[in-house]
Structure 1
Amino acid sequence: MSRRALAGVAGAAAATVVAGRAFAQQPPAAPPAAPPRPATPPSTITTPPREFGPNAPPNVYFTDPDVLTVDPSFDGLRQPNAPIQRLWTGALWSEGPAWNAQGRYLVWSDIPNNRQLRWIEDNGRVSTFRSPSNNSNGNTFDFQGRQLSCEHLTRRVVRYELDGSATVLADSFQGKKLNSPNDVVAHPDGSYWFTDPPYGGQLYEGTPDVAGGPSNPDGKINPRLGQPPGIGTVAKRELPTNCYRIDPSGRIDLVVTEEQVPDPNGLCFSPDYKTLYVASTGKGPGDTGAGGKGEVYSFTVGTDNKVSNRKLFSDFMIDGIKCGPDGLRCDVFGNVWVSSNAGRNVGYSGVTVWSPEGKLLGRIRLPEICGNVCFGGPKRNRLFMAASQSLYALYVGVQGAGPG
């Protein structure tokens, strides 16, 4: 064999060895790829957080990520595949939602803008319902379909009659001017029960006292600025922060004192009207005491319309976070749905839901502080939530109790 042929054979053998070594050093084949994991729906605590508006992308994969079950019994109260929806935004401080069943619309207050707004179910349109509203706060409808409103500016409770006129139901107690009625509920016996804290005694939501009054002690604030004639000239805080009952005869009775519930705010009855729930919120303008601590108390309502058996329903501490209550409503099973103000604790503002015994059942997380709630819709199975600048809604698996 020639030298050239011998070199060729040797080279081919060497190449075969190198190729074999190279093949032997290749990594083993990768295992088959795992199936993709389902996407996690966005929530108020994801980054970036979800969108809630009418044109937001889909965010519900069977259950809304911001409707949280704490106790398994809550699963029977929530509605699968129902998203939290922001119906409208553009207020300064939303409060007092109330559902008109005959008209199929929701009315609520935008307190600093001195107006009431109306959301109509058939087309989702929002319009100004009443302006000025005298800085109204809480609203409801009674058993005859008449709207009741608590007015901060005029420090009174009014009823809008079916013929279009308005009746002043309460503006004083024992000759002394009310503070700033906050929330009101109707009773089947024809009476109305309301709270009277001092929160309207400030520039943003009403008008301060005249000079020397508790919310204007040095007189440097002019309560007449920007007001109609007669407003801000004589009114000043004269009463403790109490709860009252307006009898069908027109008589006004004291039912819950400031010592029992300081700074009373939202209130509601149980479905059988044998229990009254009252929220006690923070210190208000002109308070000389400690003020409320963000709690809800329950009372037994007697046949004589007197309350007894005061109990702390909840202190609203959840996971170490203070979820301050404000407005509240009961469903037909007696569960209490309470708006939540957790400040900057993202994921804890919205709504908390409690059993009649005071056990936390579930939570609804909103991206804004919630001031008040009500049940509505034709079947009364839609929870409306007035939250800061916006109005939210969520279909639930239960009906609300009572009108309004």
Structure 2
Amino acid sequence: MTDPSAHDRNPDQAPSAALSRRMLIRAAGLGAVAATANAALAQTAASPVAPPTTITTPPRDFSRRGAPTTYFWDPDVIAVDPSFNGLAQPNAAIQRIWTGGLWVEGPAWNAQGQYLVWSDIPRNRQMRWIEDDGHVSVFRSPSGNSNGNSFDFQGRQLSCEHLNRRVVRYELDGSATVLADSFEGKKLNSPNDIAAHPDGSYWFTDPPYGGQLYEGAPDAPGGPSNANGKINPRLGQLPGIGFAKRELPTNTYRLDPSGRLDLVVPESQVPDPNGLCFSPDFKKLYIASTGKGPGDTGPGGKGDIHVFDVGADNKLSNGKRFSDCMIDGINCGPDGLRCDVEGNLWASSNAGRNVGYSGVNVFNPAGKLIGRIRLPEVCGNITFGGPKRNRLFMAASQSIYALYLGTQGAGPG
């Protein structure tokens, strides 16, 4: 028999005390599933109560109708080392605050406006989530198939555009400035991520990931990502798009306040550089080397994270591998990077089909894994935000997830 009020009930409203027989049977079935979940929770400490997680069968439901997960430690927030206990918030659960993207990246927090902006790259748009009521709307369209976004010390938005192969800054008066689109007379590949420095410079990576149909535009016929010329990169594009060819190695650059663009990390040191961030004191620079990109003729990215010392003259030295991002024999491919105020590095994880390993990995300054956050989707980028900057926002494939923490992110960004 159909409940006449079912179509009108608010899904967030507490259920009435009177339960139908069908609801009781359903609840009993869910209890049976929870009771058998312990075996699937081999990656976590044994517990008399086993709330659903990303690795249970059926998996955890992140919607508002899902079962509770706050049992003083969300089951998908894992302390690998006791030092992580002071960074996580034990009575906070992972929340999915939005879904519906095609491939989302580049979350960035605007402290003045109290909103989160991110890129939905294939749809060529930027989205915005507002803190006070959780409203989500299209923020900027078209966006040049933007990927990474950030905010500088003056509160201006910085965006890396795949399609236009450039870095832009959105000024406080509403205008836009092209910061960089070429190096030594050659067009950039597809700027990916950017970080502001207190000296007024911007540091950004330039891998080739935008040289594909899904996230930008392939090279013109004969270019590395369109060598046989069978793809027409001009289809569906505005005039002027589809004529560029990849001309540069995959490098990391520093844009001086004077406008001079300097190569700071060549491809030979960090191939296919992706996410990057500074330590809180700006004395270290972290760069993720991700997988092989379109048009790569060599081995491509290494699937690891590198760290460099930053000198007073902005010269980098002592480059070394910070982490191979291997956990239990699985490569947790890094992408977006952010540091907290204690100097710990938070890195997104794309482990492909290895359920339970995608999400976020947390390393202490010595490179030791101390914590993990498991998500049901591969995670591309992350940022800290919220009024107290104690909330981690995670752009994971089609969705945005959020988790309150016991620490703060090192700003801005």
Partners in 2 of 1:358 and 1:40 — Cα distance? 31
Where does structure 2 lack aligned partners over 5 or more consecutive residues? 1-34, 36-46
Partners in 2 of 1:315 and 1:251 — Cα distance? 33
Alignment of 1:1-400 (within 5 A): 38-233=48-243, 235-400=244-409
Q: Which amino acid aligns with 1:378?
A: P
Q: Note if contact 1:99-1:106 (Cα within 8 Å) is conserved in structure 2.
A: yes
Q: CA deviation at 1:58?
A: 1.6
Q: Note if contact 1:328-1:339 (Cα within 8 Å) is conserved in structure 2.
A: yes
Q: What secondary structure, in the 3-state scheme, does the structure 1 residue paired with 2:123 have?
A: coil
Q: CA deviation at 1:271?
A: 0.2
Q: Which amino acid aligns with 1:382?
A: R
Q: Note if contact 1:54-1:85 (Cα within 8 Å) is conserved in structure 2.
A: no
Q: Note if contact 2:125-2:139 (Cα within 8 Å) is conserved in structure 1.
A: yes
Q: CA deviation at 1:252?
A: 0.4
Partners in 1 of 2:236 and 2:348 — Cα distance? 31
Q: What secondary structure, in the 3-state scheme, does the structure 2 residue paired with 1:215 have?
A: helix
Q: Which amino acid aligns with 2:59?
A: P
Q: CA deviation at 1:331?
A: 0.2
Partners in 1 of 2:127 and 2:64 — Cα distance? 18
Q: CA RMSD in A?
A: 1.0
**Residue-by-residue CA offset, 1:114-144 (whole Å, 9 max, x unaligned):** 0000000111111000001010000000000
Q: What secondary structure, in the 3-state scheme, does the structure 1 residue paired with 2:347 have?
A: strand
Partners in 2 of 1:204 and 1:143 — Cα distance? 32
* Equivalenced residues, count: 368
Q: Which runs of 4+ in 1 moved over 4 A?
A: none
Partners in 1 of 2:315 and 2:102 — Cα distance? 37
Q: What secondary structure, in the 3-state scheme, does the structure 2 residue paired with 1:73 have?
A: helix
Q: What secondary structure, in the 3-state scheme, does the structure 2 residue paired with 1:392 have?
A: strand
Q: Note if contact 2:52-2:67 (Cα within 8 Å) is conserved in structure 1.
A: no
- Superposition TM-score, scaled by structure 1 size: 0.90
Structure of higher CA gyration radius: 1
Q: CA deviation at 1:286?
A: 0.9
Q: Which amino acid aligns with 1:324?
A: G
Q: CA deviation at 1:38?
A: 4.8
**Residue-by-residue CA offset, 1:39-67 (whole Å, 9 max, x unaligned):** 31111111111111234332211110000
Q: Note if contact 1:179-1:241 (Cα within 8 Å) is conserved in structure 2.
A: yes
